[in-house]
Amino acid sequence: MVERAAAPKIPMLRRRLLQAARAMTTPLLPDDYIGLLDPRWSTREATGSIVRVVPETDDAATVVIRPSHQWTAHKPGQYLRVGAEIDGRRHWRAYSITSDPDHPEQLVSITIKRVAEGLMSPWFVRHAKPGTLVFLGEVEGTFGLPDPLPAKILGISAGSGITPLMSMLRELDRRNGLDDVVHIHSVRTADRFIFGDMLRELAARRPGYTLHERLTGEHGRITPDELDDLVADWRERETFLSGPREMINALEAHYLENGSEDSVLHVERFQPVIGTGNASVGTGGTVFFRVQDVEAACEVGVSILVGGERAGALLPYGCRMGICHTCVGRLRAGQVRDLRTGELFTDEGQTIRTCINAPEGPIEIEL
Amino acid sequence: MASRYPPAWLLGTAGLSVAKILENMEIGHNVLHGQWDWMNDPNIHSSSWDWDTASTSVAWKHSHNYLHHTYTNVVGKDKDLGYQIMRVDPKQPWSPFFLAQPAINVLLMVIFEWGVAFHDLDFEEILKGRKDKKILKEELKGIAQKARRQIVKDYIVFPALSGRKGFKRTLQANLTANIVRNVWANAIIFCGHFPDQAYTFTEEEAATESRGAWYVRQLLGAVNIEGSDTFHLMSGNLSYQVEHHLYPDMPSSRYKQIAPKVKAVCEKYGLPYNTGPFAKQWLMVQRTIVRLALPGGKERPKAPPYVAPPAVEAVRPTAPAMGGPVPAFP
């Protein structure tokens, strides 16, 4: 199963006309022909053009994109899957959106730190040019500001983990919600601080926003017990955590042990592990893999992917956290439960991700 | 719209015929084999592609990609079209039905796309009552939907666009183009497995074969057609049938490049490399179809192990401007 961009929002009249024109183009779609003139005109997949690539540090850049169709507003903190063609192949990655949802020119930006051995991040940071076509996937993610806004906020980020916090800070700034926000950001050296200048300027302009820069190259990593010195009232703040796994695990443990009952912690994990049986919602079930001809049993909280692998099926996967969509298959029968949200889906014929969905009773899947 | 003027009609019909041939053979067949899946383009992918012919891509992927490419030339298991309604191998038992074979053959050339569409249903299984009724119903529904769309496009919508006076001529043009495509596809496909050189196998032989023997069967059961680059393109590179059967999901444009390597392997292990010119191969197939309409018939002689033609010391022309021999193309 191959990954596809989101379906763009198309005005009713245009959709009707395209539908009618199918009689002439079947088995292809009118969009197949329109897309030959300019892929951005196709209504099959959401696309966008790179407007500019703004260097943030030596190895990070913000890619500003103009969506070809009406943009489904994101919530600050969410991420976007972006596809691009590199050497004739289409690749997909998920990046946190760093722009404010209410951008004056309807532009969307993602900020990318170059991973030297990676494929897409070097391409975006070094090679992508204005005008380049990109494919836009769904906006996803549950990390974000609650409504109504919390009175006191603490943001703890490290490295490129700044990205989801950036769009949240932008929204707070626009909505005049920066009344009492403390932000601790860890970075190896000052020149690697993505959005460093912007945030220092924000701290100077908004008295309600306090920025603590921790240069780990000089002072080492922040430890949980330093929290009391930096933010004495951390227990009363709604906290947003975004960064590498070790930092999150250490702070999460610290919150569990030393936090008060009302401490609210939001976490953006870039590499969480889900689907191996730690959830408590749902019934579990059996999965029949049509192509592999394998039947697997999944107990409660076990994802289709893990259950299938345990039964010996060779299944595709990428990130195992629902972001990359490498593992998608078509649900042919039955219903599944999203292990992240607990929601049930019964859309037979739709594609689902095997790594974050568990069977609810018997299901059949084709991938 | 200009279909009422004979030269325009001819030009348009020829263009549409070529387009349909390219769409079915070089694009459709090869995309459905997954040859271009590596691009990761969801719209040019074996899981989503549909082609401009009567058969549905889902049914065809099963009968062709799976049954035919796995059980190639195993009499009784290869459900490729020829084997289902014709006697193309002396191992197949004769029945009086096959007396009509020469006539059926001509008819099949003309309505080939419909033959392919219905053969996916697997008549043998239906007649034996082994086919699941629910699956059969679903497949028939698929064919009906595909057929309706194809017929509406070729025989109603486009003729109607030509206006009242041009309707009939455009309809004739579309019908002609479909028939030209049918005859051509039939010729190329039958030349892939039914010429004299192709070996056939029994179910017992195939049941115990090793992985290596599977490749040998693919090699012996397929026959190439010699021709120009244009000819290879127009046949969807099925003229490299041998290479296609060894590597069904390799992009078709690569078959020409790997052919010398396949030949070298044939020579090393004393295996034949089946090939021949188009006219000769096609006539051989027709002779077999007519002969086997009658009872009996014996195996035709097979090709000897492949031996590379003696290398001729190439004398390269000297290009004075380049100051030396012209570099050879790889």
How far apart (Å, rounded) are the C-alpha atoms in residues B12 and A306?
56
Q: Which of A1, A2, A31, A36 to mutate to test binding with chain B, by most B CBs within 10 Å of its CB?
A: A2
For strands A153-158 and A238-243, give the pairing.
Answer: parallel
Distance to chain B for A86, nearest Cα, Å = 10
pLDDT tens for residues B202-258?
999 888 889 899 999 999 999 999 999 999 999 999 999 999 999 999 999 999 999
Distance to chain B for A293, nearest Cα, Å = 14
Where do the structural domains in chain B lie, given as residue ranges?
Answer: 6-87+94-296
pLDDT of residue B323: 42
pLDDT of residue B247: 94
Residue type (1 letter), B194: F
Please tell me if residue A88 touches chain B, with a CB cutoff of 8 Å. Answer: yes
Q: Which of B42, B153, B161 sits opposite A3 (nearest CB)?
A: B42
How far apart (Å, rounded) are the C-alpha atoms in residues A165 and A169?
6
How far apart (Å, rounded) are the C-alpha atoms in residues A38 and A58?
34
Query: Smallest Cα–Cα separation from B146: which of B229, B22, B57?
Result: B57
pLDDT of residue B67: 86
How far apart (Å, rounded) are the C-alpha atoms in residues A304 and A24?
41
Query: Smallest Cα–Cα separation from A91: which of A57, A127, A58?
Result: A127
Q: What is the full DSSP assignment across A105-164?
A: T--EEEEEE--TT-SHHHIIIII--TT-EEEEEEEE---S--SSPPSSEEEEEEGGGHHH
pLDDT of residue B315: 52
Distance to chain A for B21, nearest Cα, Å = 15
Q: Is A125's pLDDT higher than 80?
A: yes
Distance to chain B for A195, nearest Cα, Å = 34
Conformation bin of residue A195: beta by default, left when phi > 0, alpha when psi is -120 to 50: left
Which is higher by pLDDT, B2 or A181?
A181
Q: Is A272's pLDDT higher than 60?
A: no
Distance to chain B for A173, nearest Cα, Å = 40
Average pLDDT of chain B is: 89
Domains along the sequence of chain A with CATH: 45-140 (2.40.30.10), 153-268 (3.40.50.80), 285-366 (3.10.20.30)
Please tell me if residue A2 touches chain B, with a CB cutoff of 8 Å. Answer: yes
Under an 8 A CB cutoff, do B42 and A45 touch?
Answer: yes
pLDDT tens for residues B12-50?
999 999 999 999 999 999 999 999 999 989 999 988 899
Which is higher by pLDDT, B263 or A338?
B263
Residue type (1 letter), A16: R
Query: Smallest Cα–Cα separation from A99: which of A149, A62, A69?
Result: A62
**What's the rounded mean pLDDT across residues B266-294?**
95
How far apart (Å, rounded) are the C-alpha atoms in residues A34 and A294?
41
How far apart (Å, rounded) are the C-alpha atoms in residues B272 and B316?
31
Distance to chain A for B152, nearest Cα, Å = 7
Q: Which of B39, B42, B158 sits opposite A4 (nearest CB)?
A: B42
Which is higher by pLDDT, B3 or B199?
B199
User: Quick one: pLDDT band at residue B286, thresholds 50, 70, 90?
Assistant: very high
CA-atom Rg of chain A in angstroms: 22
Helix, coil or strand: residue A241: strand
Query: Smallest Cα–Cα separation from A74: which of A160, A164, A10?
Result: A164
Burial class from Cβ neighbours inside 10 Å (0-12, 13-18, 19+) for residue A333 reads middle
Query: Smallest Cα–Cα separation from A262: which of A151, A358, A111, A125?
Result: A151
ipTM attached to this prediction: 0.82
Burial class from Cβ neighbours inside 10 Å (0-12, 13-18, 19+) for residue B127 reads exposed
| Residues of chain B positioned with their CB less than 8 A from the CB of A26 | 149-150, 152-153
Q: Which of A4, A26, A293 to mutate to test binding with chain B, by most B CBs within 10 Å of its CB?
A: A26
B155, closest residue in chain A (CA to CA) = A24
pLDDT of residue A345: 85
Average pLDDT of chain A is: 90
Query: Smallest Cα–Cα separation from B192: which of B50, B69, B21, B33?
Result: B69
pLDDT tens for residues A33-52?
999 999 999 899 999 999 99
Query: Smallest Cα–Cα separation from B174: which of B17, B1, B2?
Result: B17
Give the number of other CB atoms < 10 A from CB of residue A22. 15
Q: List residues bridging with A139 in a β-sheet.
A: A80
Give the count of Cβ contacts less than 8 A between chain A and B.
Answer: 46
Under an 8 A CB cutoff, do A2 and B48 touch?
Answer: yes
Residue type (1 letter), A147: D
Under an 8 A CB cutoff, do A27 and B40 touch?
Answer: no
**CA end-to-end span of chain A, whole Å?**
6
- Specify whether the CB–CB gap between B109 and B183 falls below 8 A: yes
Q: Which of B38, B42, B51 sits opposite A27 (nearest CB)?
A: B51
Residues 32-71 of A with CB under 8 A from B: 32, 35, 44-45
pLDDT of residue B28: 96
Helix (H) or strand (E) holding A267: strand A264-269
Query: Smallest Cα–Cα separation from A282: which of A300, A305, A297?
Result: A300
- Specify whether the CB–CB gap between B98 and B86 falls below 8 A: yes
How far apart (Å, rounded) are the C-alpha atoms in residues A114 and A122?
5
CA-atom Rg of chain B in angstroms: 22
How far apart (Å, rounded) are the C-alpha atoms in residues B239 and B274?
11
Q: Which two tokens stand for residue A333?
A: 């029968």
| Phi and psi angles of residue A83, each rounded to the nearest 5 degrees, phi first | -115, 145
pLDDT of residue A270: 66
Query: Smallest Cα–Cα separation from B125: which of B67, B38, B51, B56?
Result: B67
Please tell me if residue A129 touches chain B, with a CB cutoff of 8 Å. Answer: no
Please tell me if residue A91 touches chain B, with a CB cutoff of 8 Å. Answer: yes
Please tell me if residue B149 touches chain A, with a CB cutoff of 8 Å. Answer: yes
Under an 8 A CB cutoff, do A27 and B149 touch?
Answer: yes
